[in-house]
Amino acid sequence: MATRGTRRNALQLGGAVICGLLLERASLRGGFDNTRREVFASTDVFARSLAALDAHAELRAGSILHFGHSTHLLSVAGVRVLTDPWIYDPVFGALRHEHGLPAHPSGLATADVLCLTHEHPDHADPTALAHMPRGARCLVGSARTAQLARDAGLTDVTLMEPWQSLRVRELEITAVPALHDVPEVGFVLRGAERSVYYAGDTREGPALLEIRARLSPRTAILPVDGMHRKGTQRMTMGPEEAIAATRTLGVSQVMPSHAETFLHDPIASAFLWEKKDDAAKAFVALAAAGLPGVVCLNPAAGEIVAL
Ligand SMILES: [Zn+2]
């Protein structure tokens, strides 16, 4: 009896281990990405920022309302541009938001334009996209991203090639090259008085000098956490590379981005992914010492800063 019971326990344990491994494999392949119900920490700060944006012409001319990670509501020349919406965890089966989010995604639906740099689930979250107005103008950096946007119900989707420009009222939007592990573009937004380069995920590269020469943006939003698969090159800039990129771009304002996640999966953090923790803080400290004359913006989630 004892032997049969021991064998049954061993079989049950083996079955549980196999199920666990299969679930882990499916999770790390993205099978559960963007599906977790989010808890929204506070909508007060975000609501105040949105009200300020409505009330003040100066903020409409140029501002960044920071949502979290790479999700920002940019306002330039009176046009509201939402970058890379990511709301729902996890991504890559391994990463979550570091902080609670400042508002429900419907709070972002005031955007005139969505700019999606690439297909990764922390930049083009299908569940978040489904909250956006169906007819919102959506500019994307790859065919796969266009498909994600259309699958989420968006109908006005334009695939942008590097250096392609278009106008939305008084705003010129130009797609610029990006260096990542999947096809991607960044975006430069230029109004009469303000201009912003939103880099998405990119490493440093020769395009930065060309962006400066062709478009001379005044403000740059750069990735800083240096995320990459172990044993491979970085998929985005780390803090030091972003400092060098700021100098190359010759901007007078810079904001760290792509730096508000934590690796919740112990297998992923032990064997698969590597990134710099507290990367925005590290970037701000390096900028204070090494970027004289450049203003470093670092709004908290839900806060708005004028450009
Ligand atoms: Zn990416």
> Where are the domains positioned within the chain?
1-31, 34-306
202 band by pLDDT with thresholds 50, 70 and 90 = very high
Cα–ligand 1 centroid distance for 118 (angstroms): 7
Cα–ligand 1 centroid distance for 66 (angstroms): 19
Residue 291 Cα distances to 33, 285, 297, 306, angstroms:
38, 10, 13, 20
**216 contact partners, CB below 8 Å, separation of at least 6:** 195, 250
pLDDT score for 114 = 98
Instruction: Tell me the pLDDT of the chain averaged across its residues.
Output: 92
Cα–ligand 1 centroid distance for 4 (angstroms): 51
Determine the average pLDDT of the residues in 206-231. 94
pLDDT score for 201 = 95
**92 contact partners, CB below 8 Å, separation of at least 6:** 28, 30, 33, 120, 121, 122, 268, 273
- pLDDT tens for 95-120 read 899 888 898 888 889 999 999 999 99
Cα–ligand 1 centroid distance for 86 (angstroms): 12
Given the structure tokens 């839900």, which residue do they identify? 302
- pLDDT tens for 155-179 read 999 999 999 999 999 999 999 999 9
The pLDDT of residue 194 is above 80: yes
The pLDDT of residue 27 is above 80: no
Q: Which of 246, 243, 176 is nearest to 218 (CA)?
A: 246
Cα–ligand 1 centroid distance for 303 (angstroms): 24
Cα–ligand 1 centroid distance for 305 (angstroms): 25
Cα–ligand 1 centroid distance for 151 (angstroms): 19
Cα–ligand 1 centroid distance for 294 (angstroms): 27
pLDDT score for 233 = 81
pLDDT score for 2 = 60
The pLDDT of residue 235 is above 90: no
Pairing of strands 219-223, 195-198: parallel
Q: Is residue 65 classed as helix, strand or coil in its secondary structure?
A: strand
Cα–ligand 1 centroid distance for 11 (angstroms): 41
Cα–ligand 1 centroid distance for 200 (angstroms): 8
CA distance 107 to 61: 20
Cα–ligand 1 centroid distance for 302 (angstroms): 23
What kind of architecture, by CATH, is found in domain 34-306? Answer: 4-Layer Sandwich (3.60)
1 band by pLDDT with thresholds 50, 70 and 90 = low
pLDDT score for 158 = 98
